[in-house]
């Protein structure tokens, strides 16, 4: 059994080179240490899973708990006390609590409900593109990729227009995972502000309900629907946080890879019906969620010859699993014509009971974003094709996204 830390994984997962291209490190791990014990910057020993079949099994293994309150010492060491109140939600729970909380929110993300949002999302796409300069470079992240999903999720929750910018700033601070004293203090302050904001917003929904998800959840809470006040606040935070950053980074990753692979872009331009497949390929090839959120072992278990002891933290590298050659043909090739189905089922949205609830909405937002952008600006190009992509540099792999995406929407415009 593997009992020692893999030195390549420990050293290389924290370097700028890794952030620019993590895939060689993951390829090394899949072959030499598929379940790799390591000590990340947060200082808590963790087992990293990188092969597809192991990852898929781990995502639905009941012995790997998502209830981080059960691993409270490790949880507090990583995230601090301030995160506890905001993490009382379905993402950090096991059945039966997870089942209860997910059922309350699930009705908002059915295919029918999501499809009904199409005209509203399409309008947001058009409005954002209308505001972009055409002949000079524009950073599509703040101009397009970020405001699209935050506008949609805020509309869904019923967040007033004039309050969205401040909420986005707090969310950005929370997402910037860091382990310095200053970073933790800034995160704690932002978490406290978000908790207070949502508590206040819920009180307003209680007195003046609207036609939005948060009003509906507040009514469930007040009608003894099995939802505590803190669960309600935490669920609102989860929906806002999960529905914003991940989709924004996915849109950026998708545009970048299409512009960096001219043949693939040409295929999409020639046949827009390929856009749904292109979305799935982006999620597989370079998705925005690099590793699934923490789990911990409730008992000793073994995976790929490695013993994971009871109480150990476990992370599942979705990005590594999605390029496993045991599952995918030519996994390092970006191919928008790759068949979508069980044979090529990626794990970008997870698997099992914690499969991403918002996946249908994220898919629709991405499809409309790509369709709107390339439909209106088929000649869009990177502002500087020779420049290396500026991927975000974070001290701990969680999200995968660009720090900037500078393009010219129509280089040939008069």
Task: Give dist(CA 302, CA 27) in Å, integer.
Answer: 21
Minimal CA–CA distance to 405: which of 126, 138, 148, 130? Answer: 138
> pLDDT digit string (tens) for 9-55?
544 565 777 878 899 999 999 999 999 988 766 666 789 999 999 99
Length of the chain: 414
Output the pLDDT for position 79: 58
Q: Is residue 174 part of a domain?
A: yes
Comparing 68 with 105, the larger pLDDT belongs to 105
Domain count, the chain: 1
CA-angle at 385, arms to 381 and 389, nearest 5°: 105
Q: Cβ(84)–Cβ(111) under 8 Å?
A: no
Listed in sequence order, the residues at least 6 apart from 205 whose beta carbon sits closer than 8 Å to its beta carbon are: 158, 212, 214, 215, 218
Q: Is residue 354 part of a domain?
A: yes
Average pLDDT over residues 340-348: 88
Q: Is residue 22 part of a domain?
A: yes
Count of C-beta atoms within a 10 Å radius of residue 244: 24
Q: Is residue 2 part of a domain?
A: no
Q: Is residue 413 part of a domain?
A: no
Listed in sequence order, the residues at least 6 apart from 11 whose beta carbon sits closer than 8 Å to its beta carbon are: none
Output the pLDDT for position 11: 43
> pLDDT digit string (tens) for 299-337?
999 999 999 999 888 999 999 999 999 999 999 999 999
> pLDDT digit string (tens) for 183-197?
778 878 888 898 899
* Among 30-44, 154-168, 272-286, the least confident range: 30-44
Q: Is residue 414 part of a domain?
A: no
Output the pLDDT for position 198: 92
> Residue 410 pLDDT > 50, yes or no?
yes
pLDDT band at 381 (very low <50, low <70, confident <90, very high): very high
Q: What is the CATH number of the domain that holds 77?
A: 1.10.630.10
Task: Give dist(CA 361, CA 120) in Å, integer.
Answer: 12
Task: Give dist(CA 243, CA 220) in Å, integer.
Answer: 22
pLDDT band at 80 (very low <50, low <70, confident <90, very high): low
Average pLDDT over residues 84-89: 68
Q: Is residue 240 part of a domain?
A: yes
Comparing 204 with 81, the larger pLDDT belongs to 204
Write out the residue range of the structural domain in which residue 124 sits.
7-408
Listed in sequence order, the residues at least 6 apart from 270 whose beta carbon sits closer than 8 Å to its beta carbon are: none
Q: Is residue 1 part of a domain?
A: no
> What's the mean pLDDT when you consider all of the chain?
87
> Residue 64 pLDDT > 70, yes or no?
yes
């Amino acid at each position: 059994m593997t009992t020692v830390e893999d030195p390549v994984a420990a050293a290389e997962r924290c370097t700028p080179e890794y952030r620019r291209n993590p895939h060689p490190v993951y390829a090394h791990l899949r072959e030499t240490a598929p379940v790799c014990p390591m000590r990340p910057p947060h200082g808590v020993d963790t087992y990293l899973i990188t092969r597809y079949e192991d990852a898929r099994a781990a995502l639905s293994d009941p012995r790997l708990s998502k209830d981080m309150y059960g691993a409270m010492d490790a949880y507090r060491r990583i995230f601090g006390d301030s995160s506890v109140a905001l993490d009382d939600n379905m993402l950090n729970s096991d059945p039966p609590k997870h089942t209860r909380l997910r059922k309350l929110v699930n009705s908002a993300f059915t295919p029918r409900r999501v499809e009904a949002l199409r005209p509203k999302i399409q309008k947001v796409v058009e409005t954002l593109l209308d505001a972009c300069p055409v002949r000079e470079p524009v950073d599509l992240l703040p101009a397009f990729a970020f405001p699209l999903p935050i506008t949609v999720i805020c509309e869904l929750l019923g967040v007033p227009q004039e309050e969205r910018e401040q909420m986005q700033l707090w969310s950005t601070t929370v997402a910037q995972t860091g382990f310095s004293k200053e970073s933790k203090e800034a995160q704690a302050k932002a978490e406290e502000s978000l908790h207070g904001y949502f508590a206040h917003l819920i009180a307003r929904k209680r007195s003046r309900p609207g036609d939005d998800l948060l009003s509906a959840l507040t009514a469930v809470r007040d009608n003894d629907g099995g939802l505590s006040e803190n669960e309600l606040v935490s669920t609102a935070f989860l929906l806002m946080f999960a529905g914003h950053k991940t989709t924004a980074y996915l849109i950026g990753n998708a545009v970048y890879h299409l512009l960096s692979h001219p043949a693939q872009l040409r295929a999409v331009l020639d046949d827009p019906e390929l856009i749904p497949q292109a979305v799935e390929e982006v999620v597989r090839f370079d998705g925005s969620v690099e590793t699934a959120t923490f789990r911990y072992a409730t008992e000793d278990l073994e995976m790929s010859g490695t013993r994971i002891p009871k109480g150990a933290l476990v992370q599942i590298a979705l990005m590594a699993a999605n390029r496993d050659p045991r599952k995918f043909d030519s996994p390092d090739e970006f191919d928008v014509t790759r068949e979508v189905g069980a044979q090529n089922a990626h794990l970008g949205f997870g698997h099992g009971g914690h499969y991403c609830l918002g996946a249908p909405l994220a898919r629709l937002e991405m499809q409309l974003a790509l369709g709107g952008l390339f439909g209106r600006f088929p000649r869009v190009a990177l502002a500087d094709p020779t420049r290396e992509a500026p991927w975000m540099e974070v001290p701990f792999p969680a999200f995968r996204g660009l720090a900037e995406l500078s393009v010219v929407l129509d280089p040939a415009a008069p």
